[in-house]
A and B are shown apart, each in its own frame.
Chain A
Amino acid sequence: MSSDLRDLYQEVVVDHSRHPRNFRKIDRPDQTVQGFNPLCGDKLTLYVKFNDQVIEDISFEGSGCAISKASASMMTATTKGKTKAEAEELFRQFHTLITEGPDGPVKREQLGKLAALGGVSEFPARVKCASLAWHTLRSALEGKGEAVSTE
C-alpha cells in the first residue's frame, strides 16, 4: 500500500470513523447547525452548548465518509472546553495544515491529535471532507444557525 494512503487512513483516523466520539444529541443545545458536502453526500448535524465564551459541550450526528466522520469526532474531542476564540484559531491552523501540507507554515506537532488528519493534504479531493465539521462549527460559533455547504 502506498505510504500516503497509509498516512491518510492512520489507525487513529479509522478508529474515530468506526467509533466516533461525542456521537449523540445534546439536550437543549445553544446551536444546532447542519453541514452538507453535496459532492459525496456527507451530512452532519452539530450540537453546541456554550457557557459564556466556552464550548461546554459539543456533539454530532450524521453520515459520511471515514475522513469526514473522523474529523468531526476529533474536532468535538479537541474543542470541548476550549473558548470560541481558541476553537477558531484551531480551525485556522488545521485548515492550513490540510491544505498546505508539511511545507506550509503549520506543522503537525503544533496540532496534537488533530495532526492525524495531516495526510489529507496529499488528497486535495478530500479536503472538503476533513473540513466539513469545522465549517459547521464556525457557523455555530457565529451563532447564525445556518446550514453549511462545502460547495
Chain B
Amino acid sequence: MRAAREAPAIRAVSSFDPEQARADFPILKQKVRGRPLVYLDSAATSQKPKCVIDAVSNYYCTTNANVHRGVHALSESATEQFEQAREKVRRFINAPRAEDIVFVRGTTEGINLVAQSLGRTRVRSGDEILISAMEHHSNIVPWQLLCESTGAVLRVAPMNEAGELLVDEFESMLGPKTRLVALAHISNALGTINPVRQLIAMAHARGIPVLLDGAQAVPHLKVDVKALDCDFYAFSGHKMFGPMGIGALFGKAEWLESMPPYQGGGDMILSVTFEKTLYNRVPYKFEAGTPDVAGAIGLGSAIDYLAGLGIEQIAAYEHELLDYATRALAAVPGVRLVGTARQKASVISFLMDDVHPHDIGTILDREGIAVRTGHHCAQPVMRQFGIDATVRASLALYNTPKDIDALVAGLEKVKEVFQ
C-alpha cells in the first residue's frame, strides 16, 4: 500500500491507544457496503462512545422528569444530574462559575444568542462586527442578520493562501467602531488553528469583546477560557462525542448579567403577570423552555470520557496522525491540499486531478469510506481558493493510520474510474 510504504509508521507518542478507544464506539464495528467502516467525517459529527449512549439511555430508563420544578424524587434527580453536567462543562473549559455556562442546542444557537441578545443592546447603525475569512456560515449569517436589523457593518479579516489569518491586517481592522470580534478557534474547512490568545489580547487592548466558535476545537485540544480570556465561547456536544442537539455557551459573568433574554418561555422567568415579567437569574434567563436534559447528561458523559483518556494525550496522538495523513495524501499523484497552515488540527481538505469532490465522495463511499465533500458550509473560504468544493477527511481520536491507508487506496479506485 502506497501510504504504508512511503510514510513511516506512526510512533507511539503517549499512553493513548487508539485501538482501545475504537472499541468504545459501537458504530465503528459495523460494515458499510460490505466493508469495514472508515469514518473520516468527524468534523461534521463525531461518533459516540458506549458510555455516552448509555448515559442518555439510562436517563430515560431511570430518571426522566422535568427539571427545576416538581418536588418529586425523579425531578430532583433529573435536576441534580442536569446541574452536574453544567459543572462538568465548567470544569472542561475552566470557566470561573457554573452559572457562566448556558446550555444551548449547539454552537449555532450559542452564536445566535450572543448576536441577538448582546447585539440588540450594544450594536448601533455604523458600528462594526469583525469576523475572519475562514468562518463557518454559522459564524457569518447571525452577524449578517444583526447588521441588517441594526445598520451595522460586517468586516472580514483576510487570510493567506495557506489558510492562515493575517494577524497584522486583523489588528488594523480593530477600530473605535468595532463592537465585537467573532472568530473560529479552528477552521472547519481548512483545519487552521487560529492564534486566538494573541487575537483576543489585541481586541481587548481596544476594549472589544471576543466570541470564539469552538465547535472544531473542543474535541482536539485543551480549551481554557480563563487563560484565553475570551468573552464568549460556543461549542456543540455532537462534535466532541456527545449527543446531537446539545451544546454550551460560556459567557463572562458581566456580559451574561447585563444581556437581555434571547427567547421567552418557561424556566427563564421568576414571575409572570400580564403587566410585568421578572426574569430568572443567569444562566436560566437564557434557557427558555424545557432543556435537553438527556443531551446535557450525555455531554457530561462525553466530557468524563475525554478526561479519562486525557485531552493532551489525544491531541498529541492526533497531531501525529494528521502528519501521517498529510504526508500520505501529498504523496498521491494529482492530490492538491487546500489549507496548509503551520498550525493545524484534524482536517485535511484536498482536490485530486480534475475529478469533482462529489464524485470522489461517491466512489469512496462504495469502499466504506465516509468523507465530506462540498463547500463545508464555508462558501467564502472556497471562493478565496477559487474552487467550489473540496474533499474533506477529518480525524478523531478513534482514527488510525489504517484509515488513512484505506483512504489512499480508495483514491486509487477513483483514478481507475476516471483514468
Per-residue B-contact encoding for A20-52, CB less than 8 Å = 1, 0 else: 000000000000000000011111000000000
Per-residue B-contact encoding for A116-130, CB less than 8 Å = 1, 0 else: 000000010110010
Task: Find the B residue at minimum CB distance from A6.
Answer: B417
Contact for A63 among B362, B375, B388, B416, CB less than 8 A: B388
Q: How near does chain A come to B374, taking the closest CB pair, in angstroms?
A: 5
The answer to the question of B97 belonging to the interface, with a C-beta cut-off of 8 Å to chain A, is: no
Which residues of chain A have C-beta atoms less than 8 A from B358's C-beta?
40, 42, 64-65, 67, 126, 129
Which residues of chain A have C-beta atoms less than 8 A from B366's C-beta?
1-2, 4-5
Cα distance, A67 to B373, chains bound together (Å): 15
B375:A125 contact, CB within 8 angstroms: no
B362:A40 contact, CB within 8 angstroms: no
Query: Can you give 13 A-B contacts (C-beta < 8 A)?
Result: A1-B417, A2-B366, A6-B417, A9-B363, A9-B418, A39-B374, A40-B356, A42-B358, A43-B388, A65-B357, A65-B358, A67-B358, A67-B359
Which residues of chain A have C-beta atoms less than 8 A from B33's C-beta?
2
Cα distance, A27 to B363, chains bound together (Å): 38
Which residues of chain B have C-beta atoms less than 8 A from A2's C-beta?
33, 366
B356:A125 contact, CB within 8 angstroms: no
A residues bordering B, Cβ < 8 Å? 1-2, 4-6, 8-9, 14, 18, 39-43, 63-67, 123, 125-126, 129
Q: How near does chain A come to B31, taking the closest CB pair, in angstroms?
A: 14
The answer to the question of B382 belonging to the interface, with a C-beta cut-off of 8 Å to chain A, is: yes
The answer to the question of B311 belonging to the interface, with a C-beta cut-off of 8 Å to chain A, is: no
B362:A126 contact, CB within 8 angstroms: yes
Which residues of chain B have C-beta atoms less than 8 A from A6's C-beta?
417
Q: How near does chain B come to A69, taking the closest CB pair, in angstroms?
A: 8
Q: How near does chain A come to B347, taking the closest CB pair, in angstroms?
A: 18
Task: Find the B residue at minimum CB distance from A43.
Answer: B388
Cα distance, A36 to B418, chains bound together (Å): 24
Per-residue A-contact encoding for B379-419, CB less than 8 Å = 1, 0 else: 10010000011000000000000000000000001001110
Which residues of chain A have C-beta atoms less than 8 A from B363's C-beta?
5, 9
Cα distance, A129 to B416, chains bound together (Å): 21
Interface residues of B in 319-357 (CB under 8 A from A): 354-357
Which residues of chain B have C-beta atoms less than 8 A from A65's C-beta?
356-359
B residues bordering A, Cβ < 8 Å? 33, 354-359, 362-363, 366, 373-375, 379, 382, 388-389, 413, 416-418
Which residues of chain B have C-beta atoms less than 8 A from A64's C-beta?
356, 358, 388
Q: How near does chain A come to B384, taking the closest CB pair, in angstroms?
A: 14
Cα distance, A14 to B418, chains bound together (Å): 7
Q: How near does chain A come to B25, taking the closest CB pair, in angstroms?
A: 24
Contact for A41 among B355, B382, B417, CB less than 8 A: B382
Which residues of chain A have C-beta atoms less than 8 A from B374's C-beta?
39-41
Q: A40-B388, A41-B388 are in contact. List 15 more A-B contacts (CB 8 A).
A: A1-B413, A1-B416, A2-B366, A4-B366, A5-B366, A9-B417, A14-B418, A40-B356, A40-B357, A40-B358, A41-B379, A41-B389, A43-B388, A67-B358, A126-B362
Which residues of chain B have C-beta atoms less than 8 A from A42's C-beta?
358, 388
Cα distance, A41 to B385, chains bound together (Å): 14
Q: Given the interface contacts A40-B389, A64-B356, A66-B356, does A14 sit within 8 Å of B362 by beta carbon? A: no
Q: How near does chain B come to A98, taking the closest CB pair, in angstroms?
A: 14
Q: Sorted from nearest, which 5 A-B pairs have the closest CB atoms?
A: A41-B388, A65-B358, A65-B356, A40-B358, A41-B389
Cα distance, A6 to B416, chains bound together (Å): 10
Which residues of chain B have C-beta atoms less than 8 A from A39's C-beta?
374
Cα distance, A5 to B413, chains bound together (Å): 10
Q: How near does chain B come to A132, taking the closest CB pair, in angstroms?
A: 12
Which residues of chain B have C-beta atoms less than 8 A from A66's C-beta?
355-356, 359, 418
Q: How near does chain B come to A73, taking the closest CB pair, in angstroms?
A: 14
Cα distance, A5 to B368, chains bound together (Å): 13
Cα distance, A66 to B358, chains bound together (Å): 8
Contact for A123 among B355, B362, B379, CB less than 8 A: B362
Which residues of chain B have C-beta atoms less than 8 A from A41's C-beta?
374-375, 379, 382, 388-389
Which residues of chain B have C-beta atoms less than 8 A from A125's C-beta?
362
